A and B are shown apart, each in its own frame.
Chain A
């Protein structure tokens, strides 16, 4: 039976039709909204870009005006401070014809990070991340090594050398938009010195400062307790923390001390979520700070550090183009140089970084009650004569290193060029050991002390370092020729730290990083033996103590350098460590990066302000 098409059906169909039409119209509307939104986003991005450019021009203009003033009123300021600022090199880079903004920098860390919160973190990786986010008042020019202003526009030193006054850039802002003022600097110091904050190392370091006072919105005064040679670097290197962000944690210091990623600053990059980073992400990703105040805006959109612990995995990732740098071991480097596919996409750099430091063998002298064989200066000197450093460099490090004479870099003025490293001589070593009472008394080839105990010691080293292991095995074979028994003791990192703190080792091989002017107080001053301080070999020399104290209190560089050199001569004489070598950095960097240059501070690849860039046609990552 046919059903009739009734009025009810008509209404139903009409409603249905209407609904469909409405739906179509709605879809069209939504689509138009999306398009509109994309257009708005695009124009916003353009505006942001314009604003960055404008900010850059403004900064440049301001600099010109001020330098004009300085020329006009040449009698005005008398400090040696006004020699351009930190952005000069980056500005020059941004004037290059192929300069372009955009692209990402992706590199890798070899070990996982526990935390990137400033003060709480202690490793070099975390400080590399922080250097992109936090800024200090001054920085060093990588080529001249002079201090130049970053957050500070100018600065003066009082006549007694105890007071440092900084005038800051008024336009400086944190990445959340809050202005950066002198109060933030004073707060940072107060924050570090607060005993409830877990920053004992920084506190010890900054305890030379008596007070930090904001004398105006953009002027801050550092006052020191006593003259200190590194005072400017101490004051100027203080990474400024935002008061409005960190102050609430004074109420609840535990939340700060145990935090993983509380990082906010005024630097060119920022964390997407300033409180949200956690170690389990397996990478650190920074995005460009859209409100960066600096005269030159950083070129890269993102800076990413991936965590790849395995060496060969890191190399494979680099080969695949997923990370942009690879730092190679000497043997590997030699092989990779012949790799055509790799050299097609990466440039290689070998350079000696002045801050990379030196490696050494530390001889534990034992305690005053129970001295070890190494408490005798002649034994330590004999060990240095036996340590064939040139051979280690040639055979283990394939020549990519230089012999270290002392803790001071040979390129620095702290080093006395007249001092030459001891060479290799079994005869001299044997003679010294005989003098110290060690001789082969039973004819078995091993030397014994007066009671007939053989000269045998354990050399503790980090178990995961292949090159160190090779070196230790080589040393064992060399020492054997003089009748000295070396027993290699590979150790896990945490166990090694514990052994150092308990002074429970015979000899240990490690490295210290160093600065441009190395302060040896922590490592060799006898006041640093007690507790768990860094003079863990128990080395004591009153004359050296006096020289170190005097040098640290001498602000005048020309008067200070002879004191350091005298200290160096004592160290050379006493050999509390056998200084091994300074190693070159062997680095591969992706070819798309432009303006790479080896400065006196090392390669400028991740130096700040950023002065490298990727030309537009070679950019790899989307904007």
Chain B
């Protein structure tokens, strides 16, 4: 084995930078966070060994479980409409009757490269309780105002809508690439057989897109579980009123960097890792499912 490596030393040397960088910036932090999860550390002083203490605290920590619940709710609110609309947009972008397609594609992708902090400020102004734009519209229509940032579902919808706004175009572009890879002959054959547009969409497009859909579901699951900037900028480190916008990563951040429980923060991180792994497997099974 070592001889083999020595024989191909040039090749190994050539690919070594990646492994060196990965070791320093990837592997070491992972190992360190595992070590940290079994210790108490205020971030500056000495670490003291805490055994399973952090994890014992974690499983009985209501605030952590609330954060897990919030994250799931926000994920559901965001992912389902996002992927649905992304598919429709992709279909339209692919449709021959749409003019200036490149312009549209760029337009839909643009939110993805916008500064998230700026986005959160704009959404904050949209959803503001008394002087927000949405409430202004509701009042114009003669409807009662909604205390968006006071009630749990209001906060969660505000955060979800930011996620949808930002990632819809991104997923649409991925779907578009998937659509373009479906052979044209299939549609032509369907047309000859007298299939309607809807039939072609549900019988050809969707099944052929299955792997792409699986990919977007998994990535948006991981992304959704790691939601942080949107709630942090919109409702602050405490997750807003009633901690309804407190997500798992925001909780991790607050416990570590605001409350200085770095060991506990690491334990939260590992808890989150387990949840994401579990959730991804379930998703994969569900979406791939009946074949």
A, B assembled together: no
Please list the residues of chain B having a beta carbon within 8 angstroms of any beta carbon in chain A.
none
